[in-house]
Amino acid sequence: MQTVFSIAVDALAYGMVLFVISIGLSVTMGLMRVVNLAHGAFAMIGGYVASYVARDLGLGYTVAIVAAVAATIIIAIPIERFLYRRIYGAPELTQVLMTIGITFCVIGIANYLMGPTLKTIPLAEALQGSADLGFRTIPVHRLFAIVCGLAVALGLWFVIDRTSFGVKLRASVDNAAMAAALGVRTEIIYAVSFGVAVGLAALGGVVGAELLPVEPYYALRYMVTFLVVVSVGGAGSIPGALIACLLLGAIDTTGRYLMPEFGEFFFYLAVIAIICIFPRGLAGRAK
Amino acid sequence: MKKLVIAAVAALVLGGTAYADTIKVGVIGPFSGPFALQGKNFKAGIDAYMALNGNKVGDDTVEVVYRDVPQADPAQSKALAQELIVKEKVQYLAGFYFTPDAMAVTPILKQGNVPMVIMNAATSAIVTKSPLVVRTSFTTWQTSTPIAKVAFDSGVKKVISVVSDYGPGIDAENAFKAGFEKAGGQVVEAIRMPLATNDFSPIMQRIKDSGAQGVFAFLPSGPTTLGFVKAYNENGLKAAGIKFFAPGDLTQESDLPALGDAALGIQTTFHYAVSHDSPENKAFVDAATKAIGNKAELSFPAVSAYDGMYVIYKMIEATGGKQDAQKAVDAVKGLSWVSPRGPVFIDPESRHITQNIYLREVAKAGDGTYINKEVQTFEKQGDPGLEAAK
């Protein structure tokens, strides 16, 4: 019984880390209809900035998170203005080619500037060590990741479903020409959502760094996992992504405990099964 | 008159070069991509050797030609080796980080009349694939066998083995099991995890539930080792007194700054530590640091590359610069010298390097950097993997 609880806790923690990193991609793919393969690259930039601020400048974890999100958004603004704006509404292949190109450029630049070694982000004092749950211990930063995940989910749901910005965003996505005719400045809406998505990527890169350490190949290494989460959850759906992360986290963790030699077999089996039954993902909308 | 001068100059120049040749050495390794750091170490080791010993053997000039195979890719490795032999006319092939890359090239060595000096690939069987293969690195069997003795001597009788599910991981599992059971211990469970594992918490739970007193682990150096060592600490295994044993791949020097305090006290066995205390190693580390630019990036492939160049220089010396692969290989059989890692020699039968394996403990040096501190030496270790394969 204790083992079951243990696995449940691990699954929840892993699922939430996945959620924090992947949700930004769900926003770009679902709401902005851009297949953004450079998502991992932005998460990595966030991780590098946080590592630089916290480790080399010694400014603490909170400052590092804020700086990472801010710096990544600032870097992303010109990229959005000059590159992404050309591919909104373009065929998927064009988007894939351009964003994968950006990813390779970022990998090269990161390798050149920061070197090929692993970079760590020193945690705040309060997040180090383990917390005792009674039946087992769990690293405190995992609890922090769970809290971050819940906060992000709630915040995004509120903005998209309950604010006028969310209304305009959904309108622009469904019919950009009509929304523009009604006075919505779609370029600004797109730019802001892109900024939010990139900011979330950076946040995920920092919060998830304990599990997915920052190094130049981060940008490609974990991209498949992010894409899987988005396609299983249904692009653009926040509850969908949340359920997908928790489900996949549970399957992956249980599989790894019971039968590690099967590798990611159960993970991908589940993905195939879900996509067969729900071709648009768990909570995907028909086009 | 002018023509005569030109002819005279030409004669002088041509006459001069007729005796001294340029001998090319083709090095294949990962110089870009996720393993670029290891390729960089190859280059640092080679540059260090040439900086200390010059680029001339007798009258011949040695020139190194690099070719990049970013990830294990046998087809690419073979194609590049062919290109090096046919177009670049290299007399020696060297490098090879991954076993499959080396295996793919062994069949063409004889026809190309080219010896191969392996500077990393650590599967025992490679040397049996062609009589023209010499290895100056290590094998996973060689580095994993002594840790079994260390584990048993520390009073641990039941161990669980946890390895990454790929060739070297399985080698490590078998080597440890053979050594540990021979000593009288018991491997209670052997877990193979997928290479792409990010979250090790469930594995740690499994280790706890197995009731073992110690864990033997093998993962390829790089990002995953960080997650593994952290998970070991954070899930309370360290606090529960479950001992940690591994070969040195897990604590390679370039990963240590990232591992930080989490790794302190971890014991591993390996053939080389950058902190090894000898005049040879000091000279090597100085030269290699200059070549690589940042001492924190220096790790074990550099020393294998350095010794690989030593072997190639000896081969060139023995053949007088003429291309004769068999004569070159025969000349280094039984060759012994003092490497930066300690005394070594090339076993005449297996053509693999016999060397000291050191038990090291991760410690903090005076200047705040983390090092692998050597605490015990297992002298003259051959490759037990070849025996086991028979």
Query: Which residues have C-beta within 8 Å of that of residue A66, sequence separation ≥ 6?
Result: none
| B94, two tokens | 């060297």
Segment among A70-79, B9-18, B35-44, B172-181 with least mean pLDDT = B9-18
CA A143 to chain B, closest CA, distance in angstroms equals: 13
Q: B300 falls in which pLDDT band (50, 70, 90)?
A: very high
Contact B198 A212 (CB under 8 A): yes
Mean pLDDT of B322-338: 93
Do B153 and B252 belong together in one domain?
Answer: yes
CA distances for A204 relative to A44, A199, A207, B98, angstroms: 9, 9, 5, 33
- pLDDT value of residue A66: 94
Mean pLDDT for the stretch of residues B189-204:
87
Please name the residue of chain B whose CA is at the shortest distance from the CA of residue A258.
B206
Residues of B in contact with A17 (CB under 8 A): 199
Show which of residues 16-45 on chain B sit within 8 Å of chain A, judged by CB atoms. Answer: 33-34, 36-37, 40
pLDDT (mean) for B250-266 = 86
Whether B171 has a pLDDT exceeding 80, the answer reads yes
Element (H or E) spanning B179, and its range?
helix B167-183
| Residue B387: predicted pLDDT | 76
Query: Are the Cβ atoms of A14 and B196 closer than 8 angstroms?
Result: no
Q: Quick check: is B385 in a domain? A: no
Residues of A with Cβ-Cβ distance to B223 under 8 angstroms: 118, 212-213, 215, 218, 221
Residue A174: count other Cβ atoms within 10 Å of its Cβ: 11
Would you tell me which residues 175-194 of chain B have a C-beta closer than 8 angstroms to some C-beta of chain A? 191-194
Domain identity same for B361 and B219: yes
Domain A2-277, CATH among 1.10.287, 1.20.1070, 1.10.3470, 1.10.10: 1.10.3470
Q: Is residue A237 very low, low, confident or very high in pLDDT (cuts 50, 70, 90)?
A: confident
Its domain, for residue B24, covers 2-138+277-351
- A127-141, B129-143, B339-353 — which is least confidently predicted? A127-141
d(CA B36, CA B42): 10
Angle at A262 between CA A257 and CA A265, to 5 degrees: 105
B199 and A CB contact within 8 Å: yes
Percent of chain B residues topping a pLDDT of 70 = 94
Of the ranges B190-194, B220-224, B241-245, which one carries the lowest mean pLDDT score?
A: B220-224
List the single best residue of B189, B201, B205, B206 to mutate versus A (max A Cβ within 10 A). Answer: B201
Lowest mean pLDDT among B10-24, B99-113, B158-172: B10-24
The average pLDDT across B145-167 equals: 91
Which residues are A119's β-sheet partners? A214
B297 and B341, same domain (yes or no): yes
The number of folded domains in chain B is 2
Same domain, B51 and B183: no
Kindly report, residue by residue over A165-191, the tens digit of the pLDDT: 999 988 888 888 888 899 889 888 888
Q: Are residues B232 and B369 in the same domain?
A: yes
Specify if B200 maps to a domain. Answer: yes
Judged by CB atoms closer than 8 Å, whether chains meet at A120 and B201 is answered as: no
Encode pLDDT of A28-49 as tens digits: 888 788 889 999 999 999 999 9
Average pLDDT of span A61-87:
92
Mark yes or no for CB contact B236/A211 under 8 Å: no
CB contact under 8 A, B34 and A117: no
Segment B193-217 mean pLDDT: 88
ipTM field: 0.76
Predicted pLDDT of residue A260: 81
**Contact indicator for B81, B96 with CB cutoff of 8 Å:** no
Q: Which two tokens stand for residue A152?
A: 């992000």
For chain A, what percent of residues have pLDDT higher than 70?
A: 99
For residue B254, give how far its alpha carbon lies from the nearest alpha carbon of chain A (Å): 7
For residue B223, the distance in angstroms to the closest alpha carbon of chain A comes to: 6
Which CB contacts under 8 angstroms, 24+ apart, belong to B12-20?
B19/B59, B20/B59, B20/B60, B20/B61
B178 and B298, same domain (yes or no): no
B63 pLDDT above the threshold of 50: yes
| Chain A 248-267, residues with CB within 8 Å of chain B CB atoms | 252-254, 256-257, 260-261, 263-264
- Single out the residue of B339, B335, B337 nearest to residue B279, CA to CA: B339
- Predicted confidence at residue A124, as pLDDT, reads 82
In a domain, B24, yes or no: yes
Same domain, B257 and B345: no
pLDDT attached to residue B59: 87
Closest by Cα among A168, A148, A149, A151 to A160 = A168
pLDDT band at B4 (very low <50, low <70, confident <90, very high): low
Minimal Cα distance from A249: which residue of B?
B199
Q: How far is A262 from chain B (nearest CA, A)?
A: 8
Q: Do both B335 and B365 map to the same domain?
A: no
Q: Are both B31 and B98 inside the same structural domain?
A: yes
Q: Which residues pair with B338 in a beta bridge?
A: B343
Structure tokens at B128: 């049996």
- pLDDT, mean of residues A212-231: 88
Residue A58 is given by DSSP the state -
Q: Do residue B53 and residue B179 come from a single domain? A: no
* B99 part of a folded domain: yes
- Which chain A residue is nearest to residue B206, measuring alpha carbons? A257
Determine, for residues B192 and A264 on separate chains, whether the beta-carbon distance falls below 8 Å: no
Q: Which is it for strands B336-339 and B342-346: parallel, antiparallel or unpaired?
A: antiparallel
Same-domain pairing of B339 and B366:
no
Residue B97 lies in a domain: yes
Average pLDDT, chain B: 89
Which chain A residues are within 8 Å of B296, Cβ to Cβ?
117
Interface membership of A134 toward B (CB under 8 Å): no
What confidence tens digit (pLDDT) does each residue in A85-144 have?
888 888 989 999 999 999 999 999 998 888 877 888 888 888 887 787 777 778 888 889
pLDDT band at B17 (very low <50, low <70, confident <90, very high): very low
Instruction: Show residues of chain B in contact with A130, CB under 8 Å.
Output: 234-236
User: What are the E-state strand segments in B14-98?
Assistant: 22-29, 56-57, 60-68, 92-95
Residues of chain A with Cβ-Cβ distance to B201 below 8 Å are 10, 13-14, 253
Identify whether residues B39 and B80 lie together within a single domain.
Answer: yes
In this prediction, residues A152-164 reach a mean pLDDT of 90
Q: Which two tokens stand for residue B107?
A: 């069949």
Query: Over pLDDT 90: what percentage of chain B?
Result: 63
For residue B365, the domain's CATH number is: 3.40.50.2300
User: Which residues from chain A sit within 8 angstroms of residue B36, using beta carbons?
Assistant: 111, 116
DSSP assignment, residue A284? P
CB contact under 8 A, B205 and A116: no
> What's the burial of B70, exposed, middle or buried (CB within 10 Å: 0-12/13-18/19+)?
middle
